[in-house]
Amino acid sequence: MLDKTNSDEIHPLFHGAPKTTEFRKLRKRIVRATREAVEQYGMVREGDRWLVCLSGGKDSYTLLAALTELQWRGLLPVDILACNLDQGQPGFPATVLPEFLEKMGVPHRIEYQDTYSIVMDKVPQGRTYCALCSRLRRGNLYRIAREEGCSAVVLGHHRDDILETFFMNLFHGGRLATMPPKLVNEEGDLFVMRPLAHVAEDDCDKFARAMNYPIIPCDLCGSQDGLQRQQVKQILDGWEKNAPGRRQVMFRALMNTRPSHLLDPGLFDFAGLTLPAEAKKTPS
């Protein structure tokens, strides 16, 4: 069972949801996977306040809906404050998210910071904006979390984001690393959490579109061709097409590492390995 309440009762964020069995299964799958990640990675400390970051994309709408439903059903004992950082991108529909959040009765804060101009000024033509844009956005979100008394900044990265980051680090960074579901920021005063870690991107897309949420595209990053992440996504799409389910198999591998079968002496004491047979021969 997903929860102890009537499964036909839903939070206002789900009002207007399709009545089909397919959508009902999709909703339950997303909420169940979110609850699983929250519990598995120990995200909840009762009484905490979370800053749930809302960009207006399909993933952050799905995050907000899943967390709010869990909270509404008494399964997530934290306060939620939705936050959108308006970064000053030309043509950004500034009224969409405030109106949506007001209508849904979701506590929120809208913050305006023109990081767009900084990015455009500092990044040479032809280079990608993502690194600087992300750094400026994250710094502002940390500041807002502190001002609002939040213990965690909660992001909408899903399973496919985590996989793509792993392969980007593998192909371009020369390391085995990805976005963890839970970490502590460099200053040591905030958690950064990703409750959608077990949720597939395709499910987020289907859910947000079925709910007809007012999706806002990221024209700043999305307008650039040849991004490393897009290249990795194409590779993963090809693998998935040839072998359906491969994404989930690869994701499970990230949860099933064997340090003794890798090559990092910092994770496993190769030099200290001994032969049990020789140890038995050693006189006492």
The 10s digit of each residue's pLDDT in 159-200 is 999 999 999 999 999 999 999 999 999 999 999 999 999 999
Looking at every residue in the chain, the average pLDDT score rounds to 90
> Residue 223 — very low, low, confident or very high, per pLDDT cuts 50/70/90?
very low
Does 130 appear as a known binding residue? yes
Classify domain 18-255 at the CATH class level.
alpha beta
Region of poorest pLDDT, from 5-19, 54-68, 189-203 = 5-19
Q: What would the pLDDT profile of 142-157 be if each residue is shown by its tens digit?
A: 999 999 999 999 999 9
> Residue 18 — very low, low, confident or very high, per pLDDT cuts 50/70/90?
very high
User: Mean per-residue pLDDT for 275-284?
Assistant: 71
Specify the pLDDT at position 219: 61
Q: What would the pLDDT profile of 79-136 be if each residue is shown by its tens digit?
A: 999 999 998 888 888 899 999 999 999 999 999 998 888 888 888 877 777 778 888 9
114-140: string of b/e by CB count within 10 Å (b at 16+)? ebbeebbeeeeeeeebbebbeebbbeb
Does 221 appear as a known binding residue? yes
**For residue 150, which phi and psi values (nearest 5 degrees)?**
-90, 145
User: Mean per-residue pLDDT for 262-283?
Assistant: 85
Tell me the β-bridge partners of 109: 83
Does 133 appear as a known binding residue? yes
Would you say residue 61 has pLDDT above 90?
yes
Specify the pLDDT at position 168: 93
**Which residue would you say has higher pLDDT here, 227 or 250?**
250
User: Mean per-residue pLDDT for 229-242?
Assistant: 93
**Smallest Cα–Cα separation from 41: which of 195, 267, 150?**
195
Would you say residue 284 has pLDDT above 90?
no
